Structure 1
Amino acid sequence: MVNEMVSKMTSVCWDKCITSAPGSKFSSSESSCLTHCAQRYMDMSMIIMKRFNSQ
């Protein structure tokens, strides 16, 4: 389950943040976008899990 979540998060955030062929390292805007995207994805996953557990 964790592997699936990480894979999905990687796919979603990559598609959202990397708009051209990546170079040898991410630009500052790409890095910032990836960080924020991953944080939002994890936050939403936790909210959803808490909702399911409370029902």
Structure 2
Amino acid sequence: MADKFDDATQKELANFVEAEQAQARLHSSIHMLTSMCWDKCVTGTPSTRFSRSEEGCLANCVDRFLDTSLFMVKKIEEQRAQHGQLS
């Protein structure tokens, strides 16, 4: 079906699909982060406010998740750069 479109339309469609997939990955990561940190940090019955320990735990959980994600992205980029230099 994509063969029926000209090159510019195919490229635009590919870019759109790529952007939608990136957005889906982001939503999936946010869902995973929310679930993981909630299970780890919220120990009591939820009310209108988190306890002080829950707030601290949630903040630390999110920070560590983001730190780990950034670390992994940097490592993957380094590996790609090394493979690019070897080719």
1:26 aligns with 2:80: no
Map 1:32-47 onto structure 2 (within 5 A). 32-47=56-71
Give me the TM-score of the superposition, normalised by structure 1.
0.91
In structure 1, list runs of 5 or more residues that go unmatched: none
1:48 aligns with 2:66: no
Q: Which has the higher contact order (CA 8 A, sep 6+)?
A: 1
Give me the TM-score of the superposition, normalised by structure 2.
0.60
In structure 2, list runs of 5 or more residues that go unmatched: 1-24, 80-87
Aligned residues: 55
- Deviation digits for residues 1-24 of structure 1 (CA, Å, limit 9, x no counterpart): 211111111111000001122111
Stretches of 4+ aligned residues off by more than 3 angstroms:
none
Question: Percent of aligned pairs with the same residue?
Answer: 38
Map 1:5-20 onto structure 2 (within 5 A). 5-20=29-44
Cα RMSD of the aligned pairs, angstroms, is: 0.8
